[in-house]
Amino acid sequence: MNEELAIQANDLTRKFGDFAAVDQISFEVSQGEIFGFLGANGAGKTTAIRMLIGLLAPTSGKASVAGFDVYTQAEAIKRKIGYMSQKFSLYTDLTVWENIRLYGGIYGLSEDNIKAKAEELLSSLQLESVRDKRIGSLPLGWKQKLAFSVAMLHEPDIVFLDEPTGGVDPITRRQFWEQIYQAAEEGTTVFVTTHYMDEAEYCDRVSIMVDGKIEALDTPAGLRQAYQADDIEDVFIELARGADRAE
Ligand SMILES: Nc1ncnc2c1ncn2[C@@H]1O[C@H](COP(=O)(O)OP(=O)(O)OP(=O)(O)O)[C@@H](O)[C@H]1O
């Protein structure tokens, strides 16, 4: 196992009955890399993430995350990673501050540490004025930025973001990506799925999944060149055109 790698997957497969939701995918992600994990609806992205974060047992193949094996060391993986799900993950009837305290406790941080982190986080997101407001009353973009920061509270080695920016405007998405860059600069590996092709251009490397398989994997510039395309959207459309699964 290579210690420099944040994620290593070899022929990783998950079947539901006879249906291979994820079909022998192999890839590596380096520490500190921003890795875009693209694919049309139903391509298998969420299933792959669920295997990598230790929630779903693979049917076959191998994978290690933060140096730990997904089959035998899922608990150790969970301590090393942060996760922000597609469905918004904070408690809407708790306040901003209560959510931070709750998650800090779940991640095992001390009360002092939670306080210090909460102050830092509220100040950097300029959310001090809403610390006692219920999450449900905030705009979606604010909630998403906060959900990202909460997923980073325990300083994970790797953060998995499953469509973190769904439904928000381009300016808020841009701000969200500034948070992602900062996390990566500080050494966190970022594994991100998105349906926004402009965001794919912000990644160090991008993989594109079609019907459970990784059909392309390269830097954005490398993909554009290989497919003689003006942008990643054209590459994506070219690959997705052949897909059987579409929802
Ligand atoms: N528990 C399950 N049982 C049966 N089939 C499943 C299960 N989970 C996922 N699938 C199927 O596996 C395929 C991949 O689903 P998955 O949610 O991983 O795709 P995705 O790429 O994340 O899609 P989306 O972008 O819509 O979230 C889909 O056809 C889905 O219906």
Q: What is the predicted ipTM?
A: 0.96
**pLDDT grade, residue 2 (50/70/90)?**
low
Distance CA 243, CA 218 (A): 20
Cα(212) to centroid of ligand 1, in Å?
9
**Ligand 1 pocket test: which of 45, 50, 84 has the largest number of ligand atoms within 8 Å of its C-beta?**
45
Phi, psi torsion values for 214, nearest 5 degrees: -85, 115
pLDDT at 240: 86
Question: Widest CA span of the chain, in angstroms?
Answer: 54
User: How many Å lie between the centroid of ligand 1 and the Cα of residue 216?
Assistant: 20
Q: Tell me the CA–centroid distance for residue 103 and ligand 1, in Å.
A: 27
Computed over every residue of the chain, the mean pLDDT equals 92
Instruction: Give the residue, by CA position, lying nearest to ligand 1 atom 5.
Output: 16
| pLDDT tens digits, 103-142 | 999 888 999 999 999 999 899 888 899 999 999 999 888 8
Query: Which H helix or E strand runs over 164?
Result: none
* Protein fold of 5-240: Rossmann fold (3.40.50)
* Shortest-distance atom of ligand 1 to CA 209: 21
For a mutational test of ligand 1's pocket, the pick from 12, 15, 16, 195, i.e. the residue with the most ligand atoms closer than 8 A to its C-beta, is: 16
Q: What's the average model confidence in pLDDT over 94-99? A: 94
pTM: 0.92
- Ligand 1 closest atom vs CA 48: 18
Nearest ligand 1 atom, CA 17: 4
Cβ atoms 25, 37 nearer than 8 A: no
Q: What is the pLDDT of residue 201?
A: 93
Q: What is the pLDDT of residue 3?
A: 61
Residue nearest to atom 2 of ligand 1 (CA): 16
Q: How far apart are CA 22 and CA 40, in angstroms?
A: 13
Query: Taking CB atoms and a 6 Å cutoff, what residues make up the pocket around ligand 1?
Result: 16, 21, 39, 41-47, 245
Mean pLDDT of 152-170: 91
pLDDT for 108 equals 87
Q: Which residue has the higher pLDDT, 173 or 29?
A: 29
**How many angstroms does the Cα of residue 21 sit away from the middle of ligand 1?**
6
Cβ atoms 212, 243 nearer than 8 A: no
Structure confidence at residue 1 (pLDDT): 54
Query: 40-60, pLDDT tens digit by residue?
Result: 889 999 999 999 999 999 999
pLDDT score at 150:
92
DSSP string, 124-137: HTT-GGGTTSBGGG
